[in-house]
Amino acid sequence: MIEVSARAATVTDYRKLPPDDWHYQLIEGEIVNMAPARDFFHQKILLNLAAILHEWLKENQTGQVMIAPLDVYLTDTNVFQPDVLFVRNSRESIIEEDGLHGAPDFAVEILSPHTARYDLNQKGAVYAMTGVEELWLVYPQARRIDVHNLQENAEAVAASHGLGATFASPLFPGLEFRTADIFRPR
């Protein structure tokens, strides 16, 4: 009889994955294939939000914004690739050539059918435990952004912004986010 190991995968296992065109994440010890490729609207949302932050950061050089795919090493059994992330200058030492070694200050997960169950369940708890301050869960079809202030209350949605809303984040003083700009399809 063959013995099957039920141990959780670790960062060491993750780093042994073959260099191919697939994108993976390590979520609570499970290696998760992120295929199929993200759809066009998902990518537009990512690009729109990253562009808004990039422009603001040109004038307000408080940190760095990055986009997926980029490995974020959170624990020995959790390596995520948030769609958009931000790291303050005071914490830039976590940025290394192979990714982030620690929690970003801000993370955005744009939900897709293939990965939403991870984004809505395990990942939020890990983000909170490792020190992420603000997490946005973006619902493309509903055109809604749920903001979670993880260090205040990891369980609750702090605010929900639908199409037509304007809102702010304490991480980006003076910047007004408009959902119409974030969800702009072209």
Name the CA dihedral angle for 81, 172, 131, 96, rounded to a multiple of 10 degrees: 50
pTM here is 0.89
Place of tokens 């993976």: 24
79 and 72 in contact (C-beta within 8 Å)?
A: yes
82 and 104 in contact (C-beta within 8 Å)?
A: yes
pLDDT interval class at 1 (50, 70, 90): very low
The pLDDT of residue 2: 41
Residue 92 clears pLDDT 80, i.e. is over it: yes
Task: List, edge to edge, every strand of the sheet that includes 72-75.
Answer: 30-33, 24-27, 78-80, 72-75, 99-101, 95-96
Q: What is the average pLDDT across 112-127?
A: 86
pLDDT interval class at 142 (50, 70, 90): very high
